[in-house]
């Protein structure tokens, strides 16, 4: 199954800028479908970015985050060619993970 | 500006009758449609109104109306939200039908890099053919069920086809056929006619008020407005076709929308695309 | 001439004010509903009112100019009637009829006016 995570990490001096686009419905549990029934909540609860075994970004998400979330942040201490590991877990127990090279 | 107050239906009937009389005497003989002059005037209107915006940037709609929004657009383009739909579209486009044929068999140049030629006027049929319509006809001709014009599949397909034409100038032709001119005029008339309980025409927002706000949204100029379609709208949390946009614009003015790909909508797409000839295809796009 | 209208939003107001062409304050028709007599309505009253509203809406449909608010009014009328509330049902039906008639008026009056807005 293709990865749900698109990521681009670019090192600029000692700062690495990371952008990620994650494919996920992020249903809040407050929206009704055309038949008037509530669409059950289905959203990412935790998103983690790790570098050299250390967590550089941790997000605790909930129903307020929209579909196909986009994340952008910067962190220090990484070099070009290093690995960046991204993983998420949602409220239904599903997970996905991917590793990208910092360019 | 004179404003009339309408109180009862009887009064309305009276007023309508009086108006008809006035209209009959005041309106000059109908001009012969001159699309070339229209397109020139259309472009001039918007370039005069926004002298700092480059002609090709009008296709980015609200993002060219506002410095802050332009920065957001630049960032968005680095990681566009329409990526998933675009990839799905590419896959769908390449997948053969049950009978072994593909979309490429229905279109010139295998369907690649042709989006800027749509809509076109089909002289055999005497009607405007849009890209969405052509795609569904291709499906039906090959034994497949047509897609809904307002849902994800059509949006993904047209996103891919638009992507293969990115940068190419819109190139709509009006053949020397009175029916084609009539379709063009129909589209123009639709665009400027007020409708819905809110009494807006397309022009009310996109000609009179581009760059201004309607509630929280910045309005796009009508010039190049179809060049970015289909669009990922944050408001929809998903991808939407030209048909979807026409339908929702109607319901937003409290007009009951027409059926997608009905004659008026096709003619409207014909007119709007023609007057934006020369501006680059920027689709698939992203909007707030 | 007094201008009676229901303000939908500031842009609508702005467009109404800035428009350099004649336009009709169709929305004023909504006020018809405020002038209804306060008598209890029977089912027969409702049926008459609904039939009139429905006929007007069909005419608006033939002109390709129905309003979503008219449709909502007709639906509300039906719903109230089904629940036995003929006062509300008749009021909704009358309001829907007024909206339908306004939409017919709009279709005919706006037919030539579009040229006023056209970029030339």
| CB distance B160 to B92 below 8 Å | yes
Residues of B in contact with C96 (CB under 8 A): none
Within chain B, residue ranges assigned H as helices are 9-26, 35-49, 67-78, 83-94, 131-141, 152-163, 178-192, 202-206, 242-252, 263-274
Long-range CB pairs of B246-249, under 8 A, 24+ apart, other chains included: B247/B150, B249/B202
Q: Let me know the angle formed at the C-alpha of C118 by C24 and C66, rounded to the nearest 5 degrees.
A: 45
Q: What's the distance, Cα to Cα, between the start and end of chain B in Å?
A: 34
CB contact under 8 A, C105 and B12: yes
Q: Which band of pLDDT confidence, cut at 50, 70 and 90, is reported for residue C17?
A: low
Cβ-contact C117, C59 below 8 angstroms: no
Residue C78 lies in a domain: yes
Q: What percent of chain C has pLDDT over 90?
A: 56
| Residue A89 counted as domain residue | yes
Domain ranges (residues) in chain B: 33-288
Q: Is residue A78, in this structure, part of any structural domain at all?
A: yes
Contact at CB, C25 and B5, closer than 8 angstroms: yes
pLDDT in tens, B91-114: 999 999 999 999 999 999 999 999
A23 Cβ under 8 Å from any chain B Cβ: yes
Is position A36 within any domain? no
Residues of chain A with pLDDT > 90: what percent?
89
pLDDT of residue B68: 86
Domain-embedded: residue C1: no
pLDDT for the residue numbered B12: 53
- Chain C 34-63, CB below 8 Å of chain B: which residues? none
Structure tokens at B98: 């049950």
Q: Render pLDDT for A11-51 as a digit per residue (tens, 0 to 9).
A: 998 899 999 999 999 999 999 998 999 999 999 999 999 99
Domain of residue C104 covers 10-115
- pLDDT of B235 reads 86
Q: A53 to chain B, minimum CA–CA distance in Å?
A: 26
Domain count, chain C: 1
Q: Which residue of A has its CA nearest to B78?
A: A19
Nearest to A23 among B78, B84, B237 (CB): B84
Does A85 lie at the interface with B, CB-CB under 8 angstroms? Answer: no
Q: Which residue has the higher pLDDT, B143 or C41?
A: B143
**B5 and C1 in contact by Cβ < 8 A?**
yes
pLDDT of residue C26: 53
| Of A58-67, A72-81, B273-282, C32-41, minimum mean pLDDT range | C32-41
Q: Which two tokens stand for residue C90?
A: 């008749």
Which of B42, B197, B263, B271 is the best residue to mutate to test the C interface, defined by the most C CB atoms within 10 Å of its own CB?
Answer: B197
Burial of B106 (0-12, 13-18, 19+ CB in 10 A): middle
Mean pLDDT on B204-215: 94
- Structural domain harbouring A13: 5-24+42-101
Is the predicted pLDDT of residue B170 greater than 90, yes or no? yes
* Bridge partner residues of B170 (DSSP): none
CA-based radius of gyration for chain C = 16
Chains C and B touch (3+ CB pairs under 8 A): yes
Query: What pLDDT does C25 receive?
Result: 52
From C120, which residue of chain B is nearest by alpha-carbon distance? B41
Sign of the C-alpha dihedral computed for residues A70, A75, A80 and A86 taken in this order: negative
Mean per-residue pLDDT of chain B: 90
- Asked casually if ipTM beats, i.e. exceeds, 0.85, the reply is no
Domain total in chain A: 1
Active site residue B249: yes
For residue A96, pLDDT beyond 50 = yes
Q: Please give, rounded to a whole number of angstroms, the shortest distance from the CA of B89 to a CA of chain C.
A: 33
Q: What is the 3-state secondary structure (H, E, C) of C56-109?
A: HHHHHHHCCCCEHHHHHHHHHHHHHHHCCCHHHHHHHHHHHHHHHHHHHHHHHH
Fold of B33-288: Cytochrome Bc1 Complex; Chain D, domain 2 (1.10.760)
At B51-92, the pLDDT tens digits run 999 999 999 999 999 888 888 888 888 888 899 999 999 999
pLDDT range class, residue C38, cuts 50, 70, 90: low
- Note if the pTM is more than 0.90: no
Structural domain includes residue C2: no
pLDDT at position C15, please?
56
Q: Does B126 have pLDDT greater than 90?
A: yes
Does residue C5 belong to any structural domain of this protein? no
Distances (CA, A) of B235 to A28, B66, B166: 15, 19, 24
Q: What is the CATH number of the domain that holds A61?
A: 2.60.40.10
Q: Express each pLDDT in B6-56 by its tens digit.
A: 445 555 555 555 455 444 444 444 568 899 999 999 999 999 999 999 999
Q: CA dihedral defined by B91, B96, B101, B102, rounded to 10 degrees?
A: -10
Rounded to an integer, the average pLDDT of A61-67 is: 92
A1: confidence class by pLDDT, cuts 50, 70, 90: low
| Mean pLDDT (chain C, rounded) | 80
More confident residue, B288 or B163: B163
């Amino acid at each position: 199954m293709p990865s749900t995570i698109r990521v681009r990490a670019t090192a600029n001096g000692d700062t690495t800028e990371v952008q990620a686009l994650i494919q996920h419905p992020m249903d809040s549990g407050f929206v009704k479908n055309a038949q008037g029934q509530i669409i059950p909540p289905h959203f990412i609860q935790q998103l983690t970015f790790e570098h050299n075994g250390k967590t550089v970004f941790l997000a605790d998400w909930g129903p307020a985050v929209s579909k196909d979330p986009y994340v952008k942040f910067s962190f220090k201490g990484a070099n070009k060619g290093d690995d960046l590991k991204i993983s998420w877990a949602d409220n239904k127990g599903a997970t996905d993970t991917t590793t990208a090279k910092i360019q | 500006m004179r404003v009339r107050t309408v109180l009862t239906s009887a009064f309305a009937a009276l007023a309508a009758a009086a108006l008809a009389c006035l209209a009959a005497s005041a309106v000059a003989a109908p001009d012969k449609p001159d699309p070339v002059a229209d397109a020139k005037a259309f472009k001039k209107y918007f370039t005069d109104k926004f002298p700092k915006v480059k002609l090709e940037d009008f296709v980015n709609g609200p993002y060219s109306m506002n410095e802050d929004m332009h920065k957001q657009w630049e960032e968005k383009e680095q990681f566009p939200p329409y990526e998933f739909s675009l990839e799905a579209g590419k896959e769908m486009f390449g997948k053969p039908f049950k009978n072994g044929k593909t979309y490429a068999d229905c279109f010139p140049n295998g369907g690649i890099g042709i989006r800027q030629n749509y809509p076109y006027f089909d002289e055999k049929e005497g009607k405007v053919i849009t890209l969405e319509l052509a795609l569904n006809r291709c499906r039906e001709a090959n034994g497949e069920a047509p897609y809904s014009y307002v849902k994800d599949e059509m949006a993904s397909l047209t996103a891919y086809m638009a992507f293969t034409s990115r940068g190419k100038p819109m190139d709509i032709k009006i053949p020397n056929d009175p029916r084609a001119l009539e379709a063009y005029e129909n589209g123009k008339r639709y665009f400027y006619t007020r409708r819905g309980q809110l009494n807006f025409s397309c022009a009310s927002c996109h000609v009179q008020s581009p760059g201004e706000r309607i509630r929280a949204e910045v309005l796009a100029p009508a010039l190049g407005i179809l060049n970015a379609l289909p669009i990922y709208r944050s408001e929809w949390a998903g991808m939407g076709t030209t048909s979807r946009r026409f339908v929702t614009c109607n319901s937003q003015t409290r007009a009951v929308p027409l059926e997608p790909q009905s004659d008026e909508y096709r003619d409207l797409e014909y007119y709007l695309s023609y007057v934006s000839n020369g501006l680059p295809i920027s689709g698939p796009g992203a909007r707030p | 001439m007094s201008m009676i209208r229901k303000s939908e939003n500031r842009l609508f107001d702005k467009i109404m004010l800035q428009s350099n062409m004649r336009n009709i304050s169709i929305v004023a028709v909504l006020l018809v509903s405020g002038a209804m007599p306060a008598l209890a309505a029977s089912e027969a009253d409702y049926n008459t009112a609904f039939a009139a509203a429905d006929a007007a809406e069909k005419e608006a449909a033939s002109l390709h100019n129905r309003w979503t608010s008219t449709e909502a009014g007709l639906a509300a009328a039906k719903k109230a009637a089904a629940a036995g509330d003929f006062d509300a049902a008749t009021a909704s039906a009358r309001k829907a009829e007024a909206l339908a008639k306004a939409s017919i008026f709009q279709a005919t009056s706006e037919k030539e006016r579009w040229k006023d807005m056209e970029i030339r």
